[in-house]
Amino acid sequence: MVYREYLEFHTEGDNDMTDLTEEVSGIIKRSGISNGICHVFNIGSTGAIGTIEFEPGLQGDFPKALMKLIPESKEYRHEFSWHDGNGHSHIQASLIGPEITVPVIEGHLRSGTWQQVFHYEADNKPHDRKIIVTVIGE
């Protein structure tokens, strides 16, 4: 069986992080699927999906670490094409990735106690994001 829903929300841009765990768990419950997988996918090239301990310290540390690895700069070739100041955003989002797949066991998202599903806004401007959540199983 395959079940699909969309999550829609607004981000503030500039490293905004959104905890999606409760919403994804609700979709799994509504799916009626007991055992299988849940796929969470961000539509767009400057947003990313991952897991993290979603707490204030890491909400500050994670973007700071990414900005050290891939800082804002006008030296990205993307800037020569589009002049939108978000070359770093595309690289950060690509590094994290647009999707994750997590197990569904006995009707529940199977993740660690301190492991939440989150969206990371790598773009330098706000967005209305749309996430596809697909549950596959029996």
How much is the pLDDT for 96?
A: 97
Q: What are phi and psi of 118, to 5 degrees?
A: -140, 160
Lowest mean pLDDT among 20-24, 72-76, 88-92, 131-135: 72-76
Domains located in the chain, CATH noted: 2-137 (2.60.120.460)
What is the token pair recorded at 136? 């596959």
89 and 124 Cβ atoms separated by less than 8 Å: yes
How much is the pLDDT for 75?
A: 85
Residue 73 CA, chain-centre distance (Å), reads 23
Helices within the chain (DSSP H only): 21-31, 56-69, 77-82, 87-96
Tell me which of 58 and 85 has the higher pLDDT. 58
